[in-house]
């Protein structure tokens, strides 16, 4: 028995050493802690106020000590002996709540077909609009949704939970094409809200079903020359609906195109991204937030036939720019973001107040100072002002609305390994 145990143990050790020689497995992770102060004025807290009208209530002030769940993560990388098959799997916190359950953040396989072409299959980032500024404090903000990376203030963000297939095609050391097909049902589509079909007499209402047979399509074209990087990108998804009553619209298009430009000159860093599109809020993108109308298509009733429902598209323009200056172990970043959303509402009501009509411009600007104090360890003081629009036009009544502002300041500690 003793001999059998020794032989078995020797075999396990041999297998372990053989596996290590055939493949490479490494681990990575990130631990993040936020300490910050929030000042929200009452126009934001109360959902808006006519511009120029005094608000008699006080601001709301909040202090947060939190570990933002999705920013804390642990992953494992795999590569075979010739590096033609690679994989990455990562767990992170699943939401804004403390102690939230873990979810798969990444789980993909890279299959190298030749030195210039490989496929990525599984859960991954989107190809469209993947760049972001240095605004990182406040994921767990008590009264606001995700508000880092200027998301909703100039940066359209699709998250990292898309199930997709992506082709990377490297033309040369300076140009690469990325083509991506994304599961169309991983978005936040508004099928429950759009175009219900009339039910038979005495039967319950029948809602429209989202019926997507074509995946969402993204592309990106990263180009580098010298110290410059330019990355055009785009996204498109057609939302189709079944169970729609006759005469009603049965689809909407979700699309956007953008371009990122960045460069470094000595200690200076300059970069920015500009995006234009429609209805991104219906395609899984986080582009709205507190105080803003739903950033997707609106549905209105035709005044000549109220049984007919039709789609009104929401146009969106987004941009962010930032400049950084590196000195010693620190880099000072100044950033600005701007997002414009407009929906003309019901075109059959040209001269009447339309509750679906809106024109909102949100802006954010601030400073961030990441300081490298050790290997993989960064301390980041940060100050940001979020302006939710002090002259928004909502409902077509020509009375500007002050949606308020928010000021956030704090320090973040981040360890990456």
- CA 270, 275, 280, 285: dihedral to nearest 10 degrees? -10
pTM (2 d.p.): 0.83
pLDDT at 236: 93
Fold for 22-416, please state it.
Porin (2.40.160)
- DSSP code string of 177-219: EEEEEE-GGGS---TTTS-PBPPPTTS--BPPEE---S-EEEE
pLDDT at 388: 86
Adjacent-strand bridge partners of 316:
277, 341
Q: How far is CA 5 from the centre of its chain?
A: 54
Residues 6+ apart with CB under 8 A from 193: 299
**Tens-digit pLDDT profile for residues 297-321:** 777 777 777 777 778 888 899 999 9
pLDDT at 14: 44
pLDDT at 233: 96
Burial class (CB in 10 A: 0-12, 13-18, 19+), 257: middle
**Tens-digit pLDDT profile for residues 176-197:** 999 999 887 654 444 334 444 4
pLDDT at 203: 43
Rounded CA separation 188/280 (Å): 10
Where do the domains of the chain lie?
A: 22-416
- DSSP code string of 303-325: TTEEEEEEEE-EEEEEEEEEEEE
Residues of the chain with pLDDT under 50: 1-2, 4-21, 187-204
């Amino acid at each position: 028995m003793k001999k059998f145990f020794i032989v078995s143990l020797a075999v396990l050790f041999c297998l372990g050493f053989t596996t290590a020689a055939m493949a490479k497995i490494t681990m990575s992770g990130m631990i993040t802690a936020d300490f910050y102060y929030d000042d929200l004025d009452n126009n934001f807290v109360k959902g808006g106020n006519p511009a120029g009208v005094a608000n008699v209530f006080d601001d709301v002030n909040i202090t947060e000590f939190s570990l933002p769940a999705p920013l804390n993560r642990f992953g494992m990388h795999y590569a075979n002996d010739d590096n033609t098959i690679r994989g990455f799997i990562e767990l992170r916190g699943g939401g804004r709540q403390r102690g939230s359950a873990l979810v798969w953040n990444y789980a993909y396989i890279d299959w190298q077909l030749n030195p210039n072409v490989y496929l990525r299959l599984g859960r991954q980032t989107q190809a469209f609009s993947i760049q972001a500024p240095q605004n990182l404090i406040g994921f767990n903000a008590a009264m606001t949704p995700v508000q880092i990376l200027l998301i909703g203030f100039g940066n359209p963000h699709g998250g990292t939970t898309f199930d997709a297939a992506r082709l990377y095609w490297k033309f040369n050391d300076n140009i690469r094409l990325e083509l991506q097909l994304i599961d169309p049902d991983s978005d936040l589509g508004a099928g429950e809200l759009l175009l219900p079909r009339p039910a038979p007499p005495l039967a319950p209402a029948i809602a429209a079903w989202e019926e997507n047979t074509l995946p969402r399509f993204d592309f990106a074209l990263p180009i580098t020359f010298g110290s410059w990087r330019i990355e055009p990108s785009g996204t498109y998804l057609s939302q189709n609906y079944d169970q729609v009553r006759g005469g009603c619209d049965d689809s909407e298009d979700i699309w956007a195109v953008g371009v990122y430009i960045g460069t470094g000159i000595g200690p200076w860093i300059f970069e920015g991204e500009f995006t234009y599109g429609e209805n991104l809020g219906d395609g899984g993108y986080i582009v709205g937030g507190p105080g803003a109308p739903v950033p997707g298509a609106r549905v209105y009733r035709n005044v000549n036939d109220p049984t007919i429902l039709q789609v009104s598209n929401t146009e969106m323009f987004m941009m962010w720019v930032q400049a950084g200056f590196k000195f010693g172990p620190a880099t000072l970043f100044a950033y600005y973001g701007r997002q414009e959303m407009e929906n003309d509402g019901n075109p059959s009501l040209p001269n009447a107040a339309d509750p679906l009509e809106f024109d909102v411009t949100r802006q954010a600007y601030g400073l961030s100072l990441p300081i490298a104090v050790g290997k993989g360890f960064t301390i980041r003081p940060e100050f940001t002002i979020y302006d939710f629009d002090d002259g928004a036009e909502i409902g077509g009544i020509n009375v500007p609305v002050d949606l308020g502002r928010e000021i956030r300041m704090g320090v973040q500690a981040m360890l990456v390994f």
